[in-house]
C-alpha cells in the first residue's frame, strides 16, 4: 500500500477572496436573489410540465419506461431546487428515492409512483404551500415510501 | 457570516457545469449576483474538461448526471488526471437526489463540498466563504485524492462558526499576553509536595 501524501494548499480562490474590496454579504445575497427570482415563472411552468409528463408515464405504466420516472423526478428537483417549493420538492425527492430503490432491487410498483405523482399534482395546484393538506399528503407519501423500502 | 462582511469575487473565474439548461441559467444568475469576474458555462462535464485544459479557473460548480461523464467522474478526473495546480481547484458538487449508488462516490470523488438542493444563494455563498478560508490539507493517496475529509479534526476556518456545537478552530491565534518567564514555566513543571 502506498503512503498518503498531504499538501498544504492555498488556492487562487482563497488568495483572490483575501484581497480587499468586493461587496457586503447582504448586498451580494440581495443581488443574487433578485436575479434568481427572474426565473421563477419559467421554472414553475417547466415543473408543471414535468408533473404532466410523470402523470402520462405513470398512467401508461409501460414496461421499460421505469427509468423515465427517476429521470423526470430528478429533472424536477434540478430546477425546483432553486426556489422554496417546500412540499413539492419533498414529494419529488420521495419519488426519486423510491424509484431509485425499486429500480435497483427490481421490485417496481407503478401504484407507488402514481400516488406520488397525484400528491405532486395536488401540491402544485395548491401553490406549493405548506399547509394541512400538504402535510397530510406528505405523511401519506412517507408511509408509501417506508413500505417501498421494506419491499426492496 | 455577518451581513456586513465583505466578499470579493471580483477577480475570480468560475466554471459552471450543468446538464439542465434552465438550472445552468439560474446558477449563472446567482453568480452574476455574486459579482464574479467571469463565468464559463458548460452543458456537459466533457465540455468542462476541454475548458479546464485550456483556461484558468478558480472555482468549479457542477451538477451533471450525464452517463458519459457525471459530476463524480469529472471530480475524479480533475483530482487524479490533471497536474498541479489544476487538481487543487475547489469543486462544489450540487445534487438534487443522490441515488444509492452515488452516495459513496460523493464521499470518495474528491470534491470540496457536496451541496444538496433545495439551494439558496445564501447557502452557496456560505460554502464559497468556507472554501476561501479552508485550511484542510490536500490528500493524495491510492484510494483518495482531494481535500481532507476529516473536517472535524481541523476545525472550521478562523472566525467562522463550526457546523457542530463542539467544533473548535485549529487556530491558536496570536499571543495576547506577555510570554511567561522560563522560571515561571519551571515552577509549573516542578513537582511539589502536597499535604494530604
For residue range B12-58, list pLDDT tens digits in order: 999 999 999 999 999 999 999 999 999 999 999 999 999 999 999 99
CB contacts, 8 Å: B26 with chain A = 36, 39, 43, 79, 82
B153 contact partners, CB below 8 Å, separation of at least 6: none
Closest of B94, B97, B93 to residue A99, by C-alpha? B97
Selection from B142, B145, B141, B139 nearest residue B110 by Cα: B145
Architecture of domain B13-154: 3-Layer(aba) Sandwich (3.40)
pLDDT single digits (tens) B107-142:
899 999 999 999 999 999 999 999 988 878 899 999
d(CA A23, CA A44) in angstroms, rounded, equals 31
- Residue A41 sits at the chain B interface (C-beta within 8 Å): no
* Smallest Cα distance from B178 to chain A, Å: 29
Taking CA atoms, what residue in B is nearest to A93? Answer: B97
A21–B8: do the CB atoms touch at under 8 Å?
yes
Core vs surface per residue B144-177: b (16+ CB within 10 A) or e? bbbbbeebeebbbbeebeeeeeeeebeeeeeeee
Q: Compute the nearest-CA separation of A101 from chain B (Å).
A: 8
Between CA A133 and CA A137 the distance in angstroms is 6
Confidence of residue A131 (pLDDT cuts 50, 70, 90): very high
Query: What pLDDT is stored for residue B155 in this prediction?
Result: 64
Per-residue pLDDT of A78-104, as tens digits, reads 999 999 898 999 999 999 999 999 999
Count of CB atoms within 10 A of residue B136's CB?
20
Q: Is there a contact between A6 and B131 if contact means CB atoms under 8 Å apart?
A: no
Q: What is the ipTM of this complex?
A: 0.90
A2 vs B96: CB contact, 8 Å cut-off? no
Q: Closest Cα partner for A8 from B137, B147, B84, B88?
A: B137
Question: Which band of pLDDT confidence, cut at 50, 70 and 90, is reported for residue B154?
Answer: low
pLDDT score for B170: 61
**Record: contact B96-A74, CB cut-off 8 A:** yes
What's the gap between Cα B56 and its chain centre?
18
- Does B1 contact A14 at a Cβ distance shorter than 8 Å? no
Cross-chain residue pair A75–B20, CB shorter than 8 Å: yes
The residue ranges of every structural domain in chain A are: 40-151
Per-residue confidence (pLDDT) for residue B106, from 0 to 100? 86
With cut-offs at 50, 70 and 90, classify the pLDDT of residue A128.
Answer: very high
B72 in Cβ contact with B109 (< 8 Å): yes
Tell me, yes or no, if A107 comes closer than 8 A to chain B by beta carbon. no
B63 contacts on A by Cβ (under 8 Å): 78
Q: What residue of A is the nearest CA neighbor of B4?
A: A24
In this predicted structure, what is the pLDDT of residue B62?
97
Look at A42 and B10 and tell me if their CB atoms are within 8 Å.
no
Residue A83: which H helix or E strand, with range?
A: none
Residue A151 has pLDDT above 90, yes or no: no
The DSSP bridge pattern shows strands B13-18 and B38-42 to be parallel
b or e along B13-29 (b: 16 or more beta carbons within 10 Å of the residue's beta carbon)?
bbbbbbbbebbbbbbbb
More reliable by pLDDT, A72 or B161: A72
Task: Return the number of other C-beta atoms located less than 10 Å from residue A66's C-beta.
Answer: 18
CATH architecture designation of domain A40-151: Up-down Bundle (1.20)
3-class secondary-structure state, position B16: strand
Amino acid at each position: 500500500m502506498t503512503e498518503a501524501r498531504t499538501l498544504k494548499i492555498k488556492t487562487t480562490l482563497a488568495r483572490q477572496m483575501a484581497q480587499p474590496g468586493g461587496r457586503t454579504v447582504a448586498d451580494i445575497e440581495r443581488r443574487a436573489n433578485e436575479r434568481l427570482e427572474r426565473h421563477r415563472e419559467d421554472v414553475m411552468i417547466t415543473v408543471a410540465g414535468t408533473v404532466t409528463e410523470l402523470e402520462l408515464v405513470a398512467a401508461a405504466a409501460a414496461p421499460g419506461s421505469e427509468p423515465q420516472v427517476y429521470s423526470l423526478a430528478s429533472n424536477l428537483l434540478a430546477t425546483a431546487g432553486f426556489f422554496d417549493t417546500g412540499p413539492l420538492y419533498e414529494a419529488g425527492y420521495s419519488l426519486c428515492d423510491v424509484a431509485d430503490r425499486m429500480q435497483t432491487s427490481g421490485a417496481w410498483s407503478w401504484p407507488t409512483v402514481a400516488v406520488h405523482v397525484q400528491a405532486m399534482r395536488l401540491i402544485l395546484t395548491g401553490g406549493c404551500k405548506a399547509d394541512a393538506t400538504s402535510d397530510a399528503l406528505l405523511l401519506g407519501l412517507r408511509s408509501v415510501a417506508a413500505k417501498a423500502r421494506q419491499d426492496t | 457570516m455577518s451581513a456586513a462582511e465583505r466578499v470579493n469575487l471580483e477577480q475570480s473565474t468560475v466554471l459552471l457545469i450543468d446538464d439542465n439548461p434552465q438550472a445552468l441559467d439560474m446558477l449563472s444568475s446567482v453568480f452574476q449576483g455574486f459579482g464574479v469576474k467571469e463565468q464559463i458555462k458548460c452543458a456537459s462535464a466533457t465540455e468542462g474538461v476541454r475548458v479546464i485544459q485550456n483556461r484558468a479557473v478558480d472555482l468549479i460548480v457542477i451538477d451533471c448526471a450525464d452517463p458519459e461523464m457525471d459530476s463524480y467522474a469529472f471530480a475524479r478526473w480533475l483530482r487524479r488526471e490533471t497536474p498541479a495546480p489544476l487538481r487543487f481547484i475547489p469543486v462544489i458538487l450540487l445534487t438534487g437526489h443522490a441515488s444509492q449508488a452515488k452516495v459513496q462516490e460523493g464521499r470518495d470523488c474528491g470534491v470540496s463540498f457536496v451541496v444538496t438542493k433545495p439551494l439558496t444563494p445564501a447557502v452557496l455563498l456560505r460554502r464559497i466563504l468556507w472554501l476561501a478560508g479552508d485550511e484542510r490539507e490536500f490528500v493524495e493517496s491510492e484510494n483518495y485524492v482531494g481535500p481532507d475529509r476529516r473536517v472535524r479534526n481541523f476545525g472550521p476556518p478562523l472566525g467562522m462558526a463550526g457546523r457542530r456545537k463542539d467544533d473548535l478552530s485549529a487556530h491558536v491565534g496570536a499571543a495576547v499576553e506577555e510570554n511567561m518567564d522560563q522560571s515561571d514555566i519551571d515552577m509549573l513543571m516542578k513537582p511539589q509536595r502536597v499535604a494530604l
